[in-house]
Amino acid sequence: MLKQIEGSQAVADAVALCRPHVISAYPITPQTHIVEDLASIVAEGKLDTEFVNVESEFAAASLVLGASAAGARTYTATTSQGLLLMTEVLYCIAGMRLPIVLTCANRAISAPLSIWNDHQDSMSIRDSGWIQIHAEDNQEAADLHFQAYKIAEKTFLPVMVCMDGFILTHAFEPVDIPDQDKVDAFLPPFRPRHTVDPMYPRGLGLFADPRFYMETRYIVHRAMEKSEATIKEVSEEFNKAFGRQSGGLIKPYKLDKADLVIVAMGSVVGTIKDTIDRLEEKGKHVGLLQVCSFRPFPRKLVYQMLKDKTNIVVLEKAISLGRGGILGSDVRWSFPRTEQIDRKISNFIAGLGGRDIRMDDIEAMVERVEKEHVEFDFLGLNRDLILERDL
């Protein structure tokens, strides 16, 4: 049913429809309404699940790790510092191949303290072996959870659904929440590959000496690469079952006519699409390549989509301090070194700590890269606030 609801509520409703057996949550800052709404759903008796309020995000992640290892379908949500506190456990979850689903309401990282949106939190654990998929709007944020469980339970890899904090989590917009039967038909019950059971003791993720450890990393890496096919397949199945496009690896927008292409992910693609339409009215063709799956990074598909484009600009909400753009690096790496073509790939960092990204900013960025190749820059930086002595 189509409802006008908050993004967090939409995700909570979607997660409840996935019938998780165990939900853990550290219920105070930095948390979103997602687990609060889920707590209400459970308290009202609408969902039979074990809802556990824990003492920290470290505990929240540990609890779903244990529950998943025991064969349960599990869920937790966090953001920002909370995700950082989970980090150690998140690596363990991936190493143990536990198909846990986590929502990351993307927000900035301290210090200085910022509660606002950017992608630095999920980027900080991009190498952990978690699949990371980014939602464009609240409909997709909800839909990605149905897909996430299916992907996770097919690949035995944990899935992080990334949605922009505040911009999506706190936005009220129309979201179609499907019926339980439809979700049940799409998402079969979880069948664990191995479970821990006191009756039949066995270990999980215990110890690997130098004879074994490297192979475990190789296996997770290959599984991540192979999960590309599963993400695509599950998205197609979803589109067929629910009649709308959600998820997948990448999504092009008005690419065909464009020579200049913006690459981005998350909710900013909505603003970019509106900017592209506005530019089109002025007779200028700009395209968008939306990256939905950041990990695994669909390198070949990105290359295929962009190989004929001469002017590419990557706009991203995170930075590798001392290196530069992260998504920008991945896009550049997607092109073979030997390729002989006069192509410019520019890279802009924008929207850190909730800095508003306006259509005018995007248009200014387009105008700039039309004139020059911008290897790396910040968009919307106020240089008056920066003292030379601090640099």
Partner 1 sequence: MALTANDDVSKGLRPGPNKNELSITANVTRKENAIMIEIRIHGRGGQGNVRAAELLAIAAFKDGKFAQAFPAFGAERMGAPVQAFVRIDDKKIRLREQIGKPDYLIIQDEMLMETVPVLDGLKSDGAILVNSNRTPEELRLNTKARVDTIPATEIAMEIIGRPIPNAIMIGAFCAISGLVSLEAAQAAIMEIFPGRIGENNVAALERANEIIQKRKNHVETD
Report the nearest approach of partner 1 to the CB of residue 364 (Å): 13
Tell whether residue 4 is a contact of partner 1 (CB under 8 A).
yes
Tell whether residue 174 is a contact of partner 1 (CB under 8 A).
yes
Helices 359-371 + 268-281 axis angle, to 10: 60
Report the nearest approach of partner 1 to the CB of residue 356 (Å): 5
Tell whether residue 79 is a contact of partner 1 (CB under 8 A).
no
Query: 241: which 2 tokens?
Result: 């079952």
Query: 142: which 2 tokens?
Result: 């909800």
Among 88, 274, 308, 370, interactor with partner 1 by CB under 8 A = 274
Written as one string, the DSSP assignment of 370-382 is HHS--SSEESS--
Report the nearest approach of partner 1 to the CB of residue 388 (Å): 29
Pair 121, 294: CB distance under 8 Å: no
Of the candidate spans 211-219, 234-242, 264-272, 303-311, the one that interacts with partner 1 by CB under 8 A turns out to be: 264-272
Helices 326-333 + 299-306 axis angle, to 10: 80
Tell whether residue 167 is a contact of partner 1 (CB under 8 A).
yes
Report the nearest approach of partner 1 to the CB of residue 278 (Å): 10
Written as one string, the DSSP assignment of 78-117 is E-HHHHHHHHHHHHHHHHTT---EEEEEE---SSSP--S-
Query: 76: which 2 tokens?
Result: 């937790």
Pair 86, 78: CB distance under 8 Å: yes
Residues touching partner 1: how many (CB under 8 A)? 22
Pair 63, 49: CB distance under 8 Å: no
Q: Decide whether 67 or 379 has the Cβ nearer to partner 1.
A: 379
Helices 80-95 + 213-242 axis angle, to 10: 110
Tell whether residue 172 is a contact of partner 1 (CB under 8 A).
yes
CA-based radius of gyration for the chain = 21
Pattern 106-145, partner 1, x by CB under 8 A: ---------xx--------------------x--------
Tell whether residue 259 is a contact of partner 1 (CB under 8 A).
no
Tell whether residue 152 is a contact of partner 1 (CB under 8 A).
no
Place of tokens 């410019």: 344
Report the nearest approach of partner 1 to the CB of residue 289 (Å): 16
Tell whether residue 241 is a contact of partner 1 (CB under 8 A).
no
Pattern 316-355, partner 1, x by CB under 8 A: ----------------------------------------
Q: For the chain, first and last CA: distance in Å?
A: 53
Among 26, 149, 166, 297, interactor with partner 1 by CB under 8 A = 166
For residue 246, count other CB atoms closer than 10 A to its CB. 21
Contacts with partner 1, residue ranges (CB under 8 A) = 4, 6, 115-116, 137, 166-167, 170-174, 267-268, 270-271, 273-274, 356-359
